[in-house]
Amino acid sequence: MQTFFIVAILALGFLVTFQIAKASEYVAVLRGEEKTRKQTNKINAFMLLAFLVFGLIGVFYCNATLKGKILGEAASDHGKNIDMMLYITLALTGVVFFITQIALFWFSFKYQEKENRKAFYFPHNNKLELIWTVIPAITLTILVGFGIFYWFKITGEAPKDAMVVEVTGSQFKWEFRYPGKDNILGKKYFKQISDANNNPLGQIWDDPANHDDIYVAGEPLHLIVNKPVKMVIGAKDVIHDVGLVHFRMKMDAVPGMPTTMWFTPTKTSKQMKEETNNPNFVYEISCDQMCGKGHWSMRGEIVVETQAEYDAWMATKKPKYWAAFPDKDPSAKQPAAAPVADTTKPEPVAMLAK
C-alpha cells in the first residue's frame, strides 16, 4: 500500500507539472512570444539575485550552526593534521566559489535581456587561459603534495612502542586480535579457518607467537589513550573498509592482502562524552565499502581508555589457543587432592603376648 501511494504521488506531481507547462504555452501564445519571453527573463533575473543572497545566508548559517557539532574535533594526532588540510582546502576553494558564484548571479541579473543591448562575444584570450590554468594547477599540486605526505605518514612505520591490533572484516562483523606479552601477532593461513575448531582467523598453532594472542569478536575494540596503535587490517571474504570517522582515518580491508595504518588516540571515551555533552557517545568503526546486503549493520565500537583500565580489561581475557586446546589452559588443570584419612575404621591395636 505504501508503494502504491508513493507511485500515485509521483504520477500526480508529473501530471501537475505537465499541465502547468501546457498552460504556460497557451498564455505565451495569447500574450505574444516576445513579450512573454522578456517578462520571464526579468523574473528569472530577480530570482537568481534572490537565490544568491538567500543561498549565501544559508551557507553562513549552516556553517555557524553545525561546525564542530556533528563529529566534534578530531580525536587522534593524524586526524588534527587531516582536519587542518581540509580547512585549507575549503578556504582556497571557498574563495574561488564565492568569486565565481557572485559574479555568475550578478552578471545574470545585471546583463539581462533589454532593448538595444547586444551580446558581447569574448571567444579567446591566451593570457586569461594561462592564468586560470596555471594558478589552479599549482594550487592543486600543493594540496595533493600535502595529501601524499600525510598518507605516507599514516601508512608508514609506526613508533616502536606502538601497540598492535589486528582488525579483520567479514560479512557482517568485525573481529579483533591482540598480541600477547611478546607484542607479536602469530602467523595465519586462510585454509586453517574453522569455527568448529575454535580457529575463526586461521591461526597456525605451531607458531609459538599465537599461543598468547587474544581474539575478540562481538565486543568493542579497546585502545589506550596517548599510545600509538598500529592496525593490521584484512578481510576473510570480500573487500571491506575500516572507517574511523572520529579519528579521521580510513583504510581498505582486502582479502589476502594485509594493509596497515597507525595513529595515536588523544581523547578517552569518557572525555568525548563530556566534550560532546552526549552520555551515549561511542567511538565508531564502520565499514565504508559496500560489502553485501548486510553492509548497513557492519558497525563496531571502540573504547579508548587509560593504560590501567586497558590492563584490567585485558586481564579478563584468555588466549584463543586455550579455547582451541582446553588441556593447555592452566586454569583448567586442577591439582590432585591430598589423600584423606578414613576415620570410620578403628586404628589397629597392638596385640600383647601373654
Cell 589476502 -> residue? 256
Mean pLDDT of 206-212: 92
DSSP 289: S
* Average pLDDT value over all residues in the chain: 85
Q: How confident is the model at residue 12 (pLDDT cuts 50, 70, 90)?
A: confident
Mean pLDDT lowest among 24-28, 72-76, 198-202: 24-28
Identify whether the C-beta of residue 321 lies closer than 8 Å to the C-beta of residue 210: yes
Mean pLDDT of 45-57: 87
For the domain with range 163-326, which CATH number is right: 2.40.50.140, 3.30.565.10, 2.60.40.420, 1.10.10.410?
Answer: 2.60.40.420
pLDDT in tens, 220-277: 999 999 999 999 999 999 999 999 999 999 999 999 899 999 999 999 999 999 888 8
Residues 6+ apart with CB under 8 A from 223: 163, 165, 229, 265, 302, 303, 304, 305, 310
pLDDT recorded at residue 46? 85
The residues spanned by each domain of the chain are 7-81+88-114, 124-155, 163-326
Q: CA 287, CA 292: separation in Å to the nearest integer?
A: 11
The whole model's pTM is what? 0.73
